[in-house]
Amino acid sequence: MKHSTLSDAEVAATFERLPALVNADAALVRRGRWCSTSFLLGAGSLPLHVTIAEGKVIEVLRGPVLMLSWRFAVRADADAWSRFWQPLPEPGFHDLLAMTRFGRAVIEGDLQPLMANLRYFKEVLEAPRRAAASGASA
């Protein structure tokens, strides 16, 4: 499938939609109800600090913010995120861990909150894909 590659700024802007996309999804918020943490998203060269409280995304803050701590980081370049958010992604870009396995995303830090809530975090990061798919079918 042809796709247009977003810029780093466009990827960051997409991540900034996560509070609206996630918090409107009651099932997703419920799935993350035991999860309160801070993590870092890498949109190419742009870092974003994300704060989760009981399954809701309460802040996406563009960084870098010096000395602001986070538990784990998920980084990929803009091309990888662009492919990841396609309504029907290519093999290898359909899943966060697949992107990690094939070297297109990097996960680092203390992975316990991520792994304890893996389905939740996968679906949070896929929220822009679901929004694009529902928009395309509307």
**Contact residues: another protein, CB under 8 A:** 88-89, 94-98, 100-101, 111-112, 115-116, 118-119, 122
**Nearest of 78, 118, 75, 125 to residue 100 by alpha carbon:** 75
Q: Which is nearer to another protein, 70 or 120 (CB)?
A: 120
Distance in angstroms (rounded) separating the CA atoms of residues 4 and 66: 32
Give me the least distance between CB of 1 and another protein, in Å please: 11
Q: Which is nearer to another protein, 31 or 56 (CB)?
A: 31
Q: Which is nearer to another protein, 77 or 95 (CB)?
A: 95
Give me the least distance between CB of 90 and another protein, in Å please: 10
Distance in angstroms (rounded) separating the CA atoms of residues 101 and 80: 13
Give me the least distance between CB of 110 and another protein, in Å please: 11
Distance in angstroms (rounded) separating the CA atoms of residues 13 and 18: 9
Report helix, strand or coil for 88.
coil
Give me the least distance between CB of 112 and another protein, in Å please: 6
Q: Are 49 and 63 in contact (CB under 8 A)?
A: yes
